[in-house]
Structure 1
């Protein structure tokens, strides 16, 4: 009995020590936030946000951390202090910080951000949504540039809570109002975050026209984080794809894949963007490369089978694939776009037939493509001829299609279009590279100690390893 009690005491002491260690880690973040407030340098906030992911997991395992922080940091006369403590079942530890820091808005909102994440991770969605109005009121009461990064994160979790409770429409007015406010204050990160949240809000409810109107009336901040830019391009690709502007949609989705940070945390986003890119390429009449389906970042089997049906021009196979993977396509929100591929399957089938036969009856085409009737077959073939899909003529009286000789591709505008597309990409890449360069300001001639230089180098190496250079660009 005594041995078991000793083991329990050791475990309890180890747990308390670990909790204290996490609390000290959070307090070191408070010091960085205080520096950001005094120096107006958002790089200190960026460092805090960078350590946010590992800290989030630690807080989830030790329930006493946040109650202790709230009890120790928030003043006793703070109105919502007791309400915040009531959100947790664990009791705060008897802890008094040795570090000195002021209770500033940056620290206040950072603690609220930690609370949001804890409620989300513990699946307390109702409590998260109940906290949101109070949090919005607090954010609206401050106007500080150093709050930009933290507010962007907070808005994401506010919207995420509403999305999980299927109540996204209720947050739209607040998002629109705060988009105007953040734009006037030139809060780049918050503006970019709210724009992406609004676009997601509209697209989840299939309000394509509303999303299109928003894109026309706003200007997305170019110097925001790469992750937000990638998300914005992805939503633009969806909007343009639904509106039949496939060339613009293709450019945006490729830009989204390239802009996304190449880390394990972005696998889901890259997978969704790649699936959308496959569908857009098929709608443009192109066949995606085989290596696209072999990447180890997701299951692309349904999209491979769709591509196979389009490439073969087999309408029967296309219907079978559509019926088999309907639930997956709907889950990916690509079902409506894939339905449009039926015309592409038919066009590909007609193109293959025109290359194989110099002369063929419309009845045989109808049988090969599994179409409804000869009349509809004639209409589809004539439309393919008009659209330039095939070079052929139709004899209506005798009911057959006669193919023309294949033209030399260099006598068409296709090589010029391909060359122009590559030039546009190279110019865009050059412009983005120039914009991303950071030069020192002549007015800021500050003496930097060797220790600070070493710290910056360590942070830069860490960013390179994680594939996220947003903080240094």
Structure 2
């Protein structure tokens, strides 16, 4: 007994951890077996599960682990093995011995499944991007796309969609996004002909991102309107599509549709995808301001967004007050932030809304006011402020922004008495819009319901039922956490 105790005391911490916790390489081998099972059974859900597990191991990937896994999954000496091994740098021999020692007992398969081969491409590509070796990532992604083009298997669709994303991302990181636009269009055509709907929606979003990156909004709208319609299969891709659609609608002055798309994208986005949600909220705030609405204060106080939305909060305050001077100050103060967010163009449009809000406040406060005083209160800095004030007031009256009349002879703006708003149709329209919003949300929730395939047709045993329940729990956890790797 004393000898046993002494032997346990002399165990190093690393040895005790290695005995209890499986290594990263062992986890990758288990993922490879999941992919093989899913490929043989043609179950896409298993391959999706393998990708989720891989993203959880992403931070633990090292060159030695990937080299050992390539030796395990691919045939040593083959073209694929040689190509992928060339992208992985060589590390210390000690690490290689530790990792390869576990893989000596298992000989590589004589015939490598295409799904496993594409998974190896994806694994190496993730490693290169995380190591900031973007030029090597470009070469690896190009080689992987060339290989995917030659394969037509529905079990590859999930893996291929991830490769499409990182293919575009690697070129974006090096500033060469325009080079692959033609290739993305060709891939989208191939995915359409093969009825690869997940690939279609991924490539459509990548093409929209490509066009919007270079401010080609007209081309993006033409592509979006001509692209085939299909039911969304990925919540992340659908959120991206709504965001890009909202940006296009905003630039095209279709603010009502843009607001709906942006708010829906922010609502559907995973909670952990904070950067994406912040970007959606920034654009949604500006669109609401352009519509003449003032966002609620709680919009700017969302958890983790206060600092990022601070410039837009001050901008909203300036628009709400209708102070043109304060609006100029805020625009100059946060010019760098607005430029980085690429919202400068929208803020220039907001100037007219600031003037209109100030004019509305003046109309409510005064039953009659001269145009000279209107120009002073609005702080117009043009050569002829009185004439500008008159034209602004005339346009506001014509658009229905203020309920007043213009006395050109005396140079007055005469406001009409405020009537009872409940005698108009405005409350009915507001109530109708809320009902439509709730019904739309309910219909989307019903369409998003997921059920295991054919569970009502088969009588399953206890073991099979336990396995199905475990898969359902994993799927429910995935939906709840909304894996946000792509964001």
TM-score, normalised to structure 1, is: 0.91
Asked if 1:98 is matched to 2:106, the reply is yes
Whether the aligned pair in 2 keeps the contact of 1:261 and 1:467 (CA below 8 Å) is no
Asked if 1:135 is matched to 2:144, the reply is yes
User: 1:179 & 1:310 partners in 2: Cα distance?
Assistant: 43
Q: What does residue 261 of structure 2 align with?
A: 252
Q: Please, which moves more after superposition, 237-246 or 186-195?
A: 186-195
Whether the aligned pair in 2 keeps the contact of 1:225 and 1:470 (CA below 8 Å) is no
Q: What does residue 399 of structure 1 align with?
A: 411
The DSSP-based 3-state class of the residue aligned with 1:142 is coil
**How far is the alpha carbon of 1:15 from its aligned partner?**
10
User: 1:434 & 1:216 partners in 2: Cα distance?
Assistant: 26
User: 2:23 & 2:378 partners in 1: Cα distance?
Assistant: 69
**How far is the alpha carbon of 1:221 from its aligned partner?**
3.5
Match of 1:347 among 351, 356, 360: 356
Q: What does residue 314 of structure 1 align with?
A: 323
Inter-CA distance 427–327: structure 2 relative to 1 (3 Å threshold): same
**Count of aligned positions:** 459
Inter-CA distance 100–444: structure 2 relative to 1 (3 Å threshold): farther
Q: What does residue 336 of structure 1 align with?
A: 345
Asked if 1:428 is matched to 2:430, the reply is no
Whether the aligned pair in 1 keeps the contact of 2:44 and 2:155 (CA below 8 Å) is yes
The DSSP-based 3-state class of the residue aligned with 2:405 is strand
**How far is the alpha carbon of 1:90 from its aligned partner?**
2.5
User: 1:396 & 1:191 partners in 2: Cα distance?
Assistant: 59
CA offsets 1:278-303 (integer angstroms, 9 cap, x no match): 11111110000111111122221101
Asked if 1:418 is matched to 2:421, the reply is no
Inter-CA distance 469–148: structure 2 relative to 1 (3 Å threshold): farther
Q: What does residue 5 of structure 1 align with?
A: none
User: 1:460 & 1:370 partners in 2: Cα distance?
Assistant: 63
User: 2:467 & 2:352 partners in 1: Cα distance?
Assistant: 58
Alignment of 1:355-366 (within 5 A): 355-366=364-375
**How far is the alpha carbon of 1:134 from its aligned partner?**
1.4
Q: What does residue 273 of structure 1 align with?
A: 280
**How far is the alpha carbon of 1:331 from its aligned partner?**
1.1
Q: What does residue 70 of structure 1 align with?
A: 70
**How far is the alpha carbon of 1:237 from its aligned partner?**
0.5
Match of 2:208 among 188, 192, 199: 199
TM-score, normalised to structure 2, is: 0.88
Asked if 1:376 is matched to 2:385, the reply is no
User: 1:316 & 1:78 partners in 2: Cα distance?
Assistant: 69
Whether the aligned pair in 2 keeps the contact of 1:271 and 1:297 (CA below 8 Å) is no
Asked if 1:285 is matched to 2:292, the reply is yes
Over aligned residues, Cα RMSD in angstroms?
A: 2.5
Q: Please, which moves more after superposition, 433-442 or 49-58?
A: 433-442
User: 1:398 & 1:83 partners in 2: Cα distance?
Assistant: 84
CA offsets 1:315-342 (integer angstroms, 9 cap, x no match): 0000000000011011112221122111
Inter-CA distance 106–290: structure 2 relative to 1 (3 Å threshold): same
The DSSP-based 3-state class of the residue aligned with 2:163 is helix
User: 1:99 & 1:411 partners in 2: Cα distance?
Assistant: 82
Whether the aligned pair in 1 keeps the contact of 2:73 and 2:108 (CA below 8 Å) is no
The DSSP-based 3-state class of the residue aligned with 1:224 is coil
Asked if 1:118 is matched to 2:127, the reply is yes
Whether the aligned pair in 1 keeps the contact of 2:84 and 2:121 (CA below 8 Å) is no
Q: What does residue 469 of structure 2 align with?
A: 457
Q: Which runs of 5+ in 1 are unaligned?
A: 1-8
The DSSP-based 3-state class of the residue aligned with 1:26 is helix
**How far is the alpha carbon of 1:131 from its aligned partner?**
1.7
Q: What does residue 420 of structure 2 align with?
A: 408
Inter-CA distance 444–165: structure 2 relative to 1 (3 Å threshold): same
**How far is the alpha carbon of 1:150 from its aligned partner?**
0.7
**How far is the alpha carbon of 1:78 from its aligned partner?**
1.9
Inter-CA distance 379–123: structure 2 relative to 1 (3 Å threshold): same
User: 1:453 & 1:223 partners in 2: Cα distance?
Assistant: 29
Q: Please, which moves more after superposition, 338-347 or 349-358?
A: 338-347
**How far is the alpha carbon of 1:449 from its aligned partner?**
4.3
User: 1:20 & 1:346 partners in 2: Cα distance?
Assistant: 65
